């Protein structure tokens, strides 16, 4: 019976889990008809959700959008198009798929070309968007975006695209002519529209597109040129290659932030993974490790892999709040169906300049209240002071001598002063004085008692006895002892 309930419980969990999972679904409404002007940046949203999270793929007019589409960037839940062109108009589909099914979101993108309006059509042929001041002085052409023209040698794989810019201004308006290997390109090759003149777009590259492309910009005041060298590389099925020098050895302050980056060139999008070597004895710190050769490694979480215009892929490993245990060897591994490549680098974490504070343990338990902590030492000091004061008073009282009334001593029992010894013995004070000292103290005490007011009668207890000693030679020695207690 117990086994039955266990099996029933497991099936119930599985059933509830399956109910929670399902195909992707659209999270919010979208406008399926989108409009954008030439030259603007457009973003098409793909608000889908599902469990497990779906894989998203974008297509345009039935063609998959990949990293070779230079102005297109596939984001986590969107598609971004930079510097929209007229031929970007069409049907875009976002397809989200997981193990339970798929869902599509369709967009129709309409691109508005301002140059085809009546206002623009009134311009003479060959005019651009730049104003002309025919009454002013002549200004020779100049490039207005030189930062976008710095890279003049460009390598692209087959099937990708490239855009060559030569935006310029001047007075009067300059004109531009594009040439390939010193041969003018036809209007169809250049494209039409005012934006197209200053940017040459080459799509679906083939080896025949390789060559030197020159833009010749001129007006009545002068002319300027810029030349690009385009090289189209034939794709080959090979394993990924780590390009550049990254990752490199890095040093970081304790508690600081640093990163490793890895650049991989691959014909298809590779899998980039970061590993950290586990030092001997440190296996217990991690839930799972993998063994490669004589070393063990832990697999680290990997962020998004970005595709670059040159056909390579980039990934970064971010390390925040660096600690001593973060130091060690890190490996970037790039893999595809043809194989893998890897490269290692070391991270050094500097010591903490502020060592942790170690509080001195208290003798008393921390749970005791403050009155008890203060009262115990104070009580000990008070008791010690009281005992010391009592001891001093007792010594002072004993040194002053005992007062015994002389009338209690019979005259017949008195001995010569030199033979009499006064001994005082008590549990509190023990002393012995001569009879002469005793008489002097008695007289002084009687004088003080006579002068004192009111009269004080001290309690004096005495015990007088006489000792007689007989010696062998016939001598007899007798002396008297007076015992007092004060």
User: Does the model's pTM come out above 0.75?
Assistant: no
Q: What is the structure's pLDDT at 176?
A: 92
Q: Which residue has the tokens 């103290």?
A: 441
CATH topology for 137-233? Immunoglobulin-like (2.60.40)
Q: What is the structure's pLDDT at 427?
A: 42
**What is the sign of the dihedral through the CA atoms of 262, 82, 147 and 180?**
positive
Q: What is the structure's pLDDT at 124?
A: 37
Helix (H) or strand (E) holding 187: helix 187-190
Asked whether the domain spanning 137-233 has the same topology as the one spanning 23-112, the reply is: yes
Grouping H, G, I as helix, E, B as strand and the rest as coil, residue 438 is helix
Domain edges within the chain: 23-112, 137-233, 241-349, 397-485
- Nearest by Cα to 44 from 8, 83, 15, 79: 79
- Angstrom distance (rounded) from CA 23 to CA 103: 8
Q: What is the structure's pLDDT at 348?
A: 93
Q: Which CATH class is domain 241-349?
A: mainly beta
State how far Cα 13 lies from the chain centre: 38
Q: What is the structure's pLDDT at 34?
A: 94
Question: How would you write the pLDDT of the chain (486 residues) with one tens digit per residue?
Answer: 444 444 344 344 434 444 457 889 999 999 999 999 987 889 999 999 988 888 888 999 988 887 667 788 888 889 999 888 888 899 999 998 887 888 999 999 999 876 554 444 434 333 344 444 555 688 999 998 888 888 898 888 788 788 898 989 999 989 999 999 999 988 777 775 555 578 898 888 889 999 999 999 999 999 999 999 999 887 666 788 898 888 999 999 999 999 999 999 887 778 899 999 988 777 667 666 777 667 888 888 888 888 777 778 899 999 999 998 899 999 999 987 778 889 999 999 999 887 665 555 555 455 567 777 787 888 888 898 888 888 887 776 655 554 444 444 444 444 444 444 444 444 444 444 555 665 676 676 666 555 544 444 444 444 555 555 555 555 555 555 555 554
Is the backbone peptide bond immediately before 191 cis, with ω within 30 degrees of 0?
Answer: no
CA geometry: angle at 342 spanning 340 and 346, to 5°? 165
Q: How many CB atoms lie within 10 A of CB 115?
A: 19
Q: What is the structure's pLDDT at 451?
A: 55
Q: What is the structure's pLDDT at 220?
A: 92
CA geometry: angle at 247 spanning 245 and 248, to 5°? 80
C-alpha pair distances (Å), 46 with each of 41, 56, 68, 92, 99: 17, 8, 21, 11, 19
For the segment(s) 23-112, the CATH number from 3.40.190.170, 2.60.40.10, 2.30.40.10, 3.50.50.60 is 2.60.40.10
HSE-CB of 291 using CA atoms within 13 angstroms: 4
Token pair listed for 265: 């060139």
Q: What is the structure's pLDDT at 246?
A: 86
Q: What is the structure's pLDDT at 184?
A: 92
């Amino acid at each position: 019976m117990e086994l039955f309930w266990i099996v029933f419980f497991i099936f119930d969990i599985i059933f509830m889990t399956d109910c929670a999972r399902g195909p992707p679904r659209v999270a919010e409404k979208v406008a399926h008809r989108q409009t954008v002007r030439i030259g603007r940046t457009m973003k098409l949203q793909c608000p889908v959700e599902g469990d497990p999270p779906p894989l998203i793929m974008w297509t345009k007019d039935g063609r998959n959008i990949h990293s070779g589409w230079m102005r297109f960037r596939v984001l986590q839940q969107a598609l971004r198009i930079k510097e929209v062109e007229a031929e970007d108009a069409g049907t875009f589909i976002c397809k989200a798929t997981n193990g339970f099914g798929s869902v599509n979101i369709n967009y129709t993108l309409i691109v508005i070309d301002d140059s085809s309006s009546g206002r623009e059509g009134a311009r003479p042929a060959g005019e651009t968007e730049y104003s002309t001041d025919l009454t002013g002085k002549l200004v020779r052409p100049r490039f207005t975006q030189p930062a976008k023209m710095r890279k003049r040698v460009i390598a692209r794989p087959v099937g990708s695209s490239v855009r060559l810019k030569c935006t310029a201004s001047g007075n009067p308006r300059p004109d531009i002519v594009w040439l390939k290997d010193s041969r003018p390109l036809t209007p169809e090759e250049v494209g039409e529209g005012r934006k197209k003149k200053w940017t040459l777009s080459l799509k679906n590259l083939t080896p025949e597109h390789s060559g030197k492309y020159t833009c010749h910009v001129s007006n009545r005041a002068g002319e300027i040129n810029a030349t690009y060298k385009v090289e189209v590389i034939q794709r080959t099925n090979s394993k990924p290659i780590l390009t550049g020098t990254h990752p490199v050895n890095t040093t970081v302050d304790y508690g600081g932030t640093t990163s490793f980056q890895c650049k991989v060139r691959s014909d298809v999008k590779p899998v980039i993974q970061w590993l950290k070597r586990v030092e001997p004895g440190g296996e217990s710190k991690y839930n799972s490790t993998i063994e490669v050769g004589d070393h063990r490694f832990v697999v680290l979480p990997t962020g998004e892999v970005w595709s670059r215009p040159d056909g390579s892929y980039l990934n970064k490993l971010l390390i925040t709040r660096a600690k001593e245990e973060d130091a060690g060897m890190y490996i970037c591994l790039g893999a595809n169906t043809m194989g893998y490549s890897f490269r290692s680098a070391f991270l050094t974490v500097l010591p903490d300049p502020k060592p942790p504070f170690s509080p001195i343990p208290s003798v008393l338990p921390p749970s005791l209240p403050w009155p008890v902590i203060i009262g115990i030492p104070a009580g000990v000091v008070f008791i010690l002071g009281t005992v010391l004061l009592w001891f001093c008073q007792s010594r002072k009282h004993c040194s002053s001598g005992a007062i015994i009334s002389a009338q209690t001593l019979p005259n017949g029992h008195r001995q010569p002063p030199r033979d009499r010894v006064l001994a005082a013995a008590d549990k509190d004070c023990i002393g012995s004085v001569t009879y002469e000292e005793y008489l002097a103290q008695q007289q002084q005490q009687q004088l003080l008692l006579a002068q004192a007011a009111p009269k004080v009668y001290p309690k004096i207890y005495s015990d007088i006895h006489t000792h007689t000693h007989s010696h062998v030679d016939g001598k007899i020695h007798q002396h008297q002892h007076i015992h007092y207690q004060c």
